[in-house]
Structure 1
Amino acid sequence: MEEAGDASAALDPKFAPLLLFGGHGDATFLYSVPTRALLPMPTPTRVGDGGVDDMMRCHRWWTTAQGWLLMARRGSPCTFLWDPFTGRRVGLPPDHDGTVLAAEGSHRRRCLLSCCGPMDPTSCTVLVIDLAYPELWYCRPGDNHWVKLHQQPYQYRNPAHRDAIIRFLRKFTAIDGKFYTELHTGNVGVLEFLPEVAFTKIAVHDDDRRPAVYKKRTTCFVESNGELHSVVFSHPIGCDRIVARVGVYRLSINAAATQEQRSAAWVKVDSLGGRAFFVKIGSFGASLDAEGTGLRGNCVYYSVFNGKVLCVYDMERGTTAVIDPGTHLPYHQSPQVLMPTFPRYHGGATRSVESIYQVGPTIQENAYEVKDTKVSKVKRDVRFFEGGCTCLPIPIQNKLINQKKSKRSMAERFPCQGEGASSPETKNSYRGCGFPLEPLKCLLRMKK
């Protein structure tokens, strides 16, 4: 299944993450975000040896959040996953009829991997989504063919229903073998291959993600350390290319409930645990451990629609900087993000402050494992009520996460007597978190 590649012409991982300009038959330019410099393309010893530029010119390609590229050779049904940092390849089923990764409309495709690496065919699912039609394809390394899922035109209630399906297909994000997306109701949908296709939903309390000032917003899902985060970009006067506000929220799932009674709430965070998020608004979200990469931790790196610049939102300072990859590059040329493929960048043992909010029986024993702040002891209980409802932790922990100005003063303070889950501050901060559970439903009726 896995094939060795020529590592002599591979990219140097110390320059990752990279911005890819061009491709799909055009000349490819690489920009290193950590070093803030354009890079020369690694050149093979002879033409056709599989260098990066040669691979980009001879194939259609799509990025993934794990750094692997989905490749489709021009004029051939051959498809495979390729690691541009080592040259490794993982074979995929051929696209004989040319519909999965066809040249026409190939820019409308998006690829996701269900796990960090495609080496294990039993656990890795490759998902290809059409961004313009309610269609998707999936396979596993070693399969003989791609499987197509789609809706027939007669299954649409109206054009708005069709557009809603396309919108939530676009937002799929992979975490631990499952694919998560945001539904039009604000709930979270979960797509699984068991190996049969199963689609369920999680009821989510969503009031905190709706700012009162800005009426238009764009949300992007990002996986970080095995948890689902939502990056919310608020836009003024309905202009998608202007970002007035950036907010990050983590999905806290009620771990005490059964599989059929799952419920959750979005919890606002002001720290990423030293990690960095990379978001291409509308199509891409990924994260990595910033330590040792030359990147600043607790920052959201994002690019807007049809723009070459990369914006950097610092969550600690509340400021935004702009990176211009090169004056000679056209402004409207939007780059793709190439993440590193090595596992250590995609996960770590460091726990962030917001991980204290994971609802479940392990909160009390894990509350002492906070390493990325000055907080040495934050140990409080989560109270569970009848009917599967929960009340999240006490105000002192809420201040550590949501109130930047009080973080330093609270760092050496032990919880005071009388600060409990029934205080008015807790009710205001987490109004509605003790909500009744909603039964799961199948929202899509897909046919092969």
Structure 2
Amino acid sequence: MDSICNVVPVPCLSMEQHDKSADRPALFSITDKKAIDGEIPGLTNANAWFTPQGWILLRSATATFLQNPQDSGDKVQLPHLPEGLSTRCSCVLSGQSSLPGCVVLLVEPVATVIWYCHIGDQEWTRHEYDIGTQQLNPPERENVPICDIAALGGKFYFNGCFETMGVLEFTPTPVFTSIEIADPIAGGLGVMGMAEGYLVESEDELYIYMVCLRLDGDFKIYDMTVHRMDFLSQKWRRADDIGGRAFFLAPWYFGASCSADEYGLEKDSVYVSYASDMCFEVSRVEDDATEIHELIGAPDSTMWILPLQSRD
């Protein structure tokens, strides 16, 4: 029997349905701008974590595995994941799933806790981390959580900002360090007001997509830029293009990259899903020109399903 059935075209959006009688997410094609008549075996509204590498981490009642969204027979078995983890966790692989020592990492959305396993391990490890504190309502302080994360060269980079960027490496236990960003203002990251950064790994390079918000009460976006990390000089350098590729951002989850030509996407563009506004945006890197596409009837939770990265 062919393991590929009802192949879902990727990239697409997975949208959790409000209807309690529907336990599977709805799928939406971003190229055709319409719902997809298909499903991914085993995928429900409450048992999946999506990765920028294209794999979906699935937990059934008895097993946990990485699933190829386009081939029900293509799985990577993992130790069984404990119950109770939020589907809001970010999930990232340290590299290709076929490589020895590949780490599967889950980052809890609020608590300063990560879960990880190496492919081939017998169990997941829970680890509480401490990367500093931040002041929200003076004089109260709280621990800083990992907010955005990307994998490159076997390491994880997180919380990219103007002055520093965190680094997580498994040796095999977690080791946290940081990179001091040299001259962020000259690199184009010196902005006034609020800003959000989304880290994206693309073809063995690390990028940050900066979204700057105007402090006028409406928090409107007024600037969107892409910068590439120059690891030799430890500087962010403004990028006028992203190599003809397309970036995908899922706020609070991950940033990812794939070929624009291969999948009929806009070259050198950034796709961002906004579940609460029931839309996704496509912005050109060259001039920030943005198109908004409505997701009619979309629920509050949406997630990108992406093609698998090459395992060559």
- What TM-score comes out, normalization by structure 1 length? 0.62
Q: Please tell me whether the aligned partners of residues 17 and 45 of structure 2 are also in contact (alpha carbons under 8 angstroms).
A: no
**Deviation by residue 1:22-74 (Cα, 9 ceiling, x = unmatched):** 169734211111222211024xxxxxxxxx2x51238600100011101111x
Which sections of structure 1, spanning at least 5 residues, go unmatched?
Answer: 43-51, 255-262, 348-448
Tell me the distance in 1 between the aligned counterparts of 2:205 and 2:113: 26
Q: C-alpha distance in 2, partners of 1:177/1:240?
A: 40
Once the two structures are superposed, the pairs formed by residues 390-401 of structure 1 within 5 Å of their partners are: none
Q: Which amino acid aligns with 1:306?
A: S
Q: Look up the equivalent residue of 1:68 and give its one-letter code.
A: W
Identify which range, 82-91 or 29-38, moves more after superposition. Answer: 29-38
Where relative contact order (Cα < 8 A, 6+ residues apart) is larger, the structure is 2
Equivalent residue number for residue 265 of structure 2? 295
2:54 maps to which residue? Answer: 67
1:79 Cα deviation from its structure 2 partner: 1.2
Please give the alpha-carbon distance, in whole angstroms, between the structure 2 residues aligned to 1:319 and 1:199: 38
Letter paired with 2:63: C
User: Aligned equivalents of 1:5 and 1:162: distance in 2?
Assistant: 55
Partner residue, 1:336: 303
Q: Is the 8 A contact 1:275 1:290 kept in 2?
A: yes
Q: CA deviation at 1:197?
A: 2.5
Looking at structure 1, the residues matched to 218 and 205 of structure 2 have their Cα atoms a distance apart, in angstroms, of 27
* Counterpart position of 2:89: 109
Report what 1:92 is aligned to: 78
The 5 A counterparts of 1:46-57 are 52=40, 54-57=41-44
User: In structure 2, how many angstroms separate the alpha carbons of the residues matched to 1:209 and 1:5?
Assistant: 51
**Higher Rg:** 1
User: Which residues of 2 match residues 370-385 of structure 1 at below 5 A?
Assistant: none
Query: Judging changes above 3 Å, is the alpha-carbon distance between structure 1 residues 157 and 322 closer, same or farther for their aligned structure 2 residues?
Result: closer
- Aligned match for 1:279, one of 249, 255, 280: 249
What is the one-letter code of the residue matched to 2:278? K
1:5 Cα shift?
Answer: 8.3
**1:38 aligned onto 2:39:** no
Deviation at 1:243, TM superposition (A): 2.1
Q: Report how far residue 240 of structure 1 moved.
A: 8.1
Q: Deviations over 1:242-286 (max 9, x none)?
A: 3222100011011xxxxxxxx501111111110111112332200
Amino acid at match of 2:65: F
State the Cα distance separating 1:132 from its structure 2 match: 1.0
Partners of 2:248 and 2:257 within 8 A in 1: yes
Count of equivalent residues? 303
**Contact 1:209–1:232, Cα closer than 8 Å, also in 2:** no
- 1-structure distance, mates of 2:287, 2:214: 22
**How has the CA–CA distance of structure 1 residues 27 and 198 changed in structure 2, closer, same or farther, with 3 Å as cutoff?**
closer
Identity of aligned residues (%): 27
1:264 alignment partner AA: Q
What's 2:171 paired with?
194
Q: Alpha-carbon deviation of 1:315?
A: 2.2
Q: CA RMSD in A?
A: 2.9
Partner of 2:14: 20
TM-superposed deviation, 1:185: 6.9
Letter in 1 for 2:259: D
1:7: Cα distance to partner? 1.4
Q: Is the 8 A contact 2:24 2:45 kept in 1?
A: no
* 1:156 and 1:162 in contact (8 A); partners too: no
Write 1 or 2 for the structure with the bigger share of strand: 2
Aligned to 2:150: 173
Aligned partners of 1:239 and 1:337: how far apart in 2?
30
Matches within 5 A, 1:105-184: 106-115=86-95, 117-120=96-99, 122-151=100-129, 163=142, 165-166=144-145, 169-182=146-159
Amino acid in structure 1 at the alignment position of 2:197: T
Alignment correspondent of 1:265:
235
Alpha-carbon spacing, 1:162–1:138, altered in 2? closer, same or farther (3 Å): farther
After TM superposition, the structure 1 stretch with the greater mean CA deviation from structure 2, 298-307 or 245-254, is 298-307
Alpha carbons 2:212, 2:223 under 8 Å: kept: yes
The structure in which a higher percent of residues are helix is 1
- Of stretches 55-64 and 283-292 in structure 1, the one that deviates more from structure 2 is 55-64
Question: Relative to structure 2, which stretch is displaced further, 155-164 or 169-178?
Answer: 155-164
Distance 1:221 1:277, change over 3 A: same
* 1:17–1:242 distance in 2 versus 1, CA, 3 Å: farther
Shift of the alpha carbon at 1:305? 5.9
**Is 1:232 equivalent to 2:210 in the alignment?**
yes
Give the letter for the 1:219 counterpart.
G
Whole-angstrom distance in 2 between the partners of 1:291 and 1:151: 40
CA distance in 1, matches of 2:107, 2:278: 24
TM-score for both structures, normalised by structure 2: 0.86
Residue 118 of structure 1 aligns with an amino acid whose one-letter code is S
Q: Take 1:5 and 1:106, find their aligned partners in 2: how far apart are those partners?
A: 33
CA distance in 1 between partners of 2:87 and 2:219 (Å) = 20
Sort the Cα spacing of 1:68 and 1:162 in 2 relative to 1 into closer, same or farther, 3 A: farther
- Does 2:289 align with 1:319? yes
SS in structure 2 opposite 1:288? strand
Gapped regions of structure 2 (runs ≥ 5): none
SS at match of 2:195: strand
Alignment-mate amino acid for residue 144 of structure 2:
I
